[in-house]
Structure 1
Amino acid sequence: MSIETERRFLVKNKEWQVLIKKCIKIRQGYLSTDFQEWITRIRIINNQRSYITIKNSKGGMQSHEFEYKIPIHDAESIWHLLNYKLIKQRYLLDLNPGSWVVDCFKNENSPLVIAEVELEAPELDVMIPDWCGKELTGQKQWSNAALAKFPLSKWPQEDRKKLADL
């Protein structure tokens, strides 16, 4: 069983961009989005590689996660059948400790920008960069599955205004 440990943050500014070492386009579609059960997603990377992932939160910053490569034509077929989808540009950063990425959401979730750091263990200390804002770890409404189901553009106007203040 694979355990993923990650922390997530809203991004306040563009200072992180000097740390970019790679950019990938990600399309994610969700077969299930029930937070009480397992979440199942299809991920297509740069229109070339694809995976099916099954996740279940352990609470806080940890999740059970199983990911398997699947044929791209199968992923594309499934993608077109799904109702809950999102598209984002993922930037891999040259920043340690941890494995840092910044996701810039597109379409209905634009202009949302979220940073994630994947850690080897939950007790590991990590320095949070100044460009990180409010921590989103463990807040299900900010998960990718929730953003696919309830995109930012569908949030009430007052909630979107609050986002600018975070």
Structure 2
Amino acid sequence: MAYEIERKFLVDISKIDTLDEGYIIKQGYIETTNKTTVRVRIRDQNAFLTIKGENNGIKRLEFEYEIPLDDANVMLEKLCLKSVIDKTRYELKVGNHVWEIDIFHGINKGLIVAEIELNDENETFDIPDWVTKEVTSERKYHNSNLILNPYSQW
């Protein structure tokens, strides 16, 4: 069984010296009737279908499968909610962990979030000085919620 253990933080981008080359992510969500999330993601020229369970603190079930790019494009157009998430993701190694920094575009422009995936809920990690606030438990920062309530409308 696969689990995602993740924490999410806001970022002061002016405190980051340099970011290596990032990659473009476009993702959408298929509406569900329970607390399961079904995501279609295109990362550069690769596509993935991800199913995530309900959050239990910072932990939840996660299953991810690579799918054909053409299928992902059709799913984004025909099956997903009409809004999509557009962002550029950068990876920065800090201590023993890799932080993923997402700079959002489109309807979520101006939002910059960093995520760190952990192996254990109680795992310790270095918090860089560019982190401003933890928002792990604030649902409005979840990508699936940014589709329905974009950052530009806050």
How many correspondences in the alignment? Answer: 152
Instruction: Note the 1:14-33 alignment, pairs <5 A.
Output: 14-18=14-18, 20-32=19-31
Encode CA deviations 1:122-154: one digit per residue, 9 max, x unaligned. 111112111101101122111000011211122
Deviation at 1:80, TM superposition (A): 1.4
Matched, 1:53 2:55: no
Contact 2:13 2:112 in 1 (8 A): no
- SS class of match (2:100): strand
Determine which structure has the larger helix proportion and give its number. 1
Instruction: Note the 1:8-157 alignment, pairs <5 A.
Output: 8-18=8-18, 20-32=19-31, 36-46=34-44, 48-81=45-78, 82=80, 83-155=82-154
% same residue: 35
Matched AA of 1:23 = G
Structure 2: 5+ residue runs without aligned partners?
Answer: none
Partners of 1:43 and 1:124 in 2: CA distance: 28
Partners of 2:57 and 2:94 in 1: CA distance: 23
Partners of 2:51 and 2:13 in 1: CA distance: 32
Structure 1: 5+ residue runs without aligned partners?
Answer: 156-166
Contact 1:21 1:94 in 2 (8 A): no
Partners of 2:118 and 2:21 in 1: CA distance: 19
Contact 2:99 2:114 in 1 (8 A): yes
After TM superposition, which residue ranges in structure 1, 4 or more long, deviate above 6 angstroms?
none
Partners of 2:151 and 2:23 in 1: CA distance: 22
Partners of 2:86 and 2:139 in 1: CA distance: 18
